[in-house]
Structure 1
Amino acid sequence: MADKERAVLAAILRRLPETVSPDQLTFLGLIGAAGAAAGFVASRWSNWFLILAAFGVLANWLGDALSKELSSRLDIERSRYGYFIDHSTDLIAQTLVIVGLGLSPYFTIGSALLVLSLYLLVNSYAYLCVVTQGGRRAEYSDAGTTFIRLLVVGWTLIAAWAGPGIAREQFYSFAVLDIFVVSASLCVFVGFLFAVRSDLAHIRLQEIGEAESRGDMSGAGGRASPKKPARGEKSGVTRRESDPWRD
């Protein structure tokens, strides 16, 4: 769906006034998340508030995605500042949406907190990859956020059709919804473990290759040892500051 999403965003950007800034769009996304949370909580009194929740999720997606696209087009990604504000607001927004869903009559708070913990787990891993791999796996974060939005909107439509009883179905003493969410979460967690294993092996091989290219391999167990300069000779190693947030 990435290509279609970019096409939609490009069409919207062409129609945006030039006075609109990325920060304003980021704020729109945060307001949308708050509106979605309020809609879910208010659906305890009327099913019609699910419309507010759905539009809130849509506003959150538009504000978040458009702010990144606009920054890229204007060449003002602002490196660390842009990275910080984009992802911190993502964390706040998705926490609001997921907890709001858990406080609605169409979900359970236990399942909502489990989904939130998995979302935070994947995002934490994405941020770790930004530091260790220069942002090569930063797409984990955006993919996870988009997936959460799709799940929330899809569940909102199902809930509007099925009614609050969808969260009350019981299997023995457990809610059927909780059983399904726990099972799906276990599958996601196992996949996450395989991803960690794969990335760990990749990083290890990359470090060994870099050490071999510098001629720093000691030959003892594949461990790299620092190369000492001769007496009176200055070390040729210079420290270079990297900016992993650039990606």
Structure 2
Amino acid sequence: MEIASTPAEIFRMKEAGRGFRNAVRINNGLLGAVEKRLLIWTANRMPAGVNSDHLTVLGLLGMIAAGVCYAGSAGRPWMLLAVNVCLAVNWFGDSLDGTLARVRNRQRPRYGFYVDHIVDVFGALALLTGMALSGRMSPMIAGGVLVAFLFLSIETYLATYTLGEFHLNFGLFGPTELRILLVIGNLFLIHYRMGRAFGRPMLVLDIGGICAMAGMTAMMLWAVAVHTAKLYNEERLG
């Protein structure tokens, strides 16, 4: 990577980067094909006054509201239903913003990629903070899930930069499938706070959090191995 050391070099390198090429988006998740058709159909019917930025903000507010509702569910299990509504709002905004830009040919690849994924980080922080405050997930487990999510996100963003491929899913699961699993889990949580794992009683969300950490760590390590090998072969010396 060339490093700029003077204002003139910075300007030259920025000008050279005007031809930024958007990464190929890959979504082979369980619902990927159906979701794509639904999002395009919805985007074609969105009011002209609604743009991608509005949807991005809506998605973030939906995730923050989900965290608030989780925190409020400590003595009010019915608020878990409100969490599910907020997750649906988050899906609508977060999934549709990019599709709307592509359908209207109003894409801003660098801005869109940067803002979308910074928003994802703050959204994950809000959601997991709400889970920890709810008393339904141990703060240590919530922190571990957040760290695993951030490591997986970092690997994804590095692969997007170096390989030009942005993978939205790992195996059959992408963001939409994970939201659906969380919605189903919340319906279960209304009636059951505790479960049993590793031979002892545990909070149900702790069990889910441990499984999520293990799954994301395994996906991250697998992706690191595959992408490292691919990059090594593409840039083999001599």
Q: TM-score, normalised by structure 2?
A: 0.76
Q: Which runs of 5+ in 1 are unaligned?
A: 209-222, 225-247
Which residue is 2:229 aligned to? Answer: 201
Q: In 1, Cα distance between the equivalents of 2:178 and 2:124?
A: 8
Q: In 1, Cα distance between the equivalents of 2:145 and 2:137?
A: 11
Please state whether the residue corresponding to 1:161 is helix, strand or coil. Answer: coil
Task: State the one-letter code of the partner of 1:199.
Answer: H
CA apart distance, 1:173: 6.8
CA apart distance, 1:6: 1.7
Asked if the contact 2:66/2:87 (under 8 Å) is kept, the reply is yes
1:196-224 CA deviation, whole Å, 9 max, x = no partner? 1121111111113xxxxxxxxxxxxxx34
CA apart distance, 1:149: 2.3
| Change over 3 Å in CA distance of 1:190–1:12 after alignment to 2 | closer
Q: Which runs of 5+ in 2 are unaligned?
A: 1-30
Q: TM-score, normalised by structure 1?
A: 0.73
How do 1:1-247 and structure 2 match up within 5 A? 1-134=31-164, 136-140=165-169, 144-162=174-192, 164-166=193-195, 175=202, 177=204, 178=206, 181-182=209-210, 185-208=213-236, 223-224=237-238
Task: State the one-letter code of the partner of 1:206.
Answer: E
Please state whether the residue corresponding to 1:62 is helix, strand or coil. Answer: helix
Structure number having the greater strand percentage: 2
Q: In 1, Cα distance between the equivalents of 2:143 and 2:39?
A: 31
Kindly tell me the number of residue pairs found equivalent between the two proteins.
Answer: 205
Q: In 2, Cα distance between the equivalents of 1:39 and 1:94?
A: 14
- Point out which structure has higher relative CO (alpha carbons under 8 A, 6+ apart): 2
Task: State the one-letter code of the partner of 2:226.
Answer: S
Please state whether the residue corresponding to 1:88 is helix, strand or coil. Answer: helix
Instruction: Indicate the structure (1 or 2) with the bigger Cα radius of gyration.
Output: 1
CA apart distance, 1:179: 5.5
